[in-house]
């Protein structure tokens, strides 16, 4: 089904090979037989986690995001450290590093493809509960402030544009939906 949509790679050229991102410029054969260029970014993937406190608040992190030139409000997240790293292990690590918490219970909510038009990045999103406080231990190049926000307020922050990070919007809305069904 839909086989008539598939593009066939003819050749691939590495444009940039960085620490995190790898950019390729591919020539493809379109379903109609014509050729086109596809520039795309290879990303190792990531995990994100929305920590839920017993009082119904969620833990978010504030950090400066250089590409946006802004301080953002997001759920804790980080890239997979190896191609075979278990996304759940990554989520648990990022929860500890960025918030100090460990989770007694963690559940996968979904996986999202962040920018399908030019990247293969996928983020696995988890919800963490039964949180045990500990000491925050961010990476040496990470500067993060944590904030506790009522879930209903986080939803309003999405509506008024204060939270616009795609993984965070997705996680907040999915968690709210899940809790409403209980």
Task: Say if strands 145-150 and 57-65 run parallel, antiparallel, or are unpaired.
Answer: antiparallel
Burial class (CB in 10 A: 0-12, 13-18, 19+), 71: exposed
Question: What are the catalytic residues?
Answer: 140
Full DSSP string of 133-147: -------TT---EEE
The per-type count for the chain, helices as H runs and strands as E runs, is 3, 10
Residues 93, 137 contacting (CB under 8 angstroms)? no
Q: Cα(133)–Cα(65) distance, rounded to whole angstroms?
A: 26
**How many Å separate Cα 66 from the centre of its chain?**
16
Beta-bridge partners for 132: 102
Q: List the structure tokens of 72.
A: 């953002």
Q: Cα(115)–Cα(21) distance, rounded to whole angstroms?
A: 14
């Amino acid at each position: 089904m839909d086989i008539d949509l598939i593009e066939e790679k003819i050749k691939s050229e590495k444009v940039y090979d960085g620490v995190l991102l790898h950019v390729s410029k591919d020539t493809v054969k379109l379903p109609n037989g014509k050729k086109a260029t596809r520039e795309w970014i290879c990303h190792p993937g990531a995990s994100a986690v929305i920590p839920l406190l017993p009082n119904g608040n969620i833990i978010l992190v504030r950090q400066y995001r250089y590409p946006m030139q802004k301080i953002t409000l997001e759920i804790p997240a980080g890239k997979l450290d190896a191609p075979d790293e278990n996304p759940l292990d990554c989520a648990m690590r990022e929860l500890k590093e960025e918030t100090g918490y460990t989770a007694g219970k963690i559940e996968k909510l979904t996986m999202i493809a962040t920018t399908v038009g030019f990247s293969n990045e996928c983020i696995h999103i988890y919800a963490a509960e039964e949180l045990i406080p500990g000491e925050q231990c961010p990476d040496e190049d990470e500067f993060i402030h944590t904030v506790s926000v009522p879930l209903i307020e986080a939803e309003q922050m999405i509506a008024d544009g204060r939270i616009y990070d795609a993984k965070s919007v997705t996680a907040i809305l999915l968690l709210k939906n899940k809790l409403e069904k209980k």
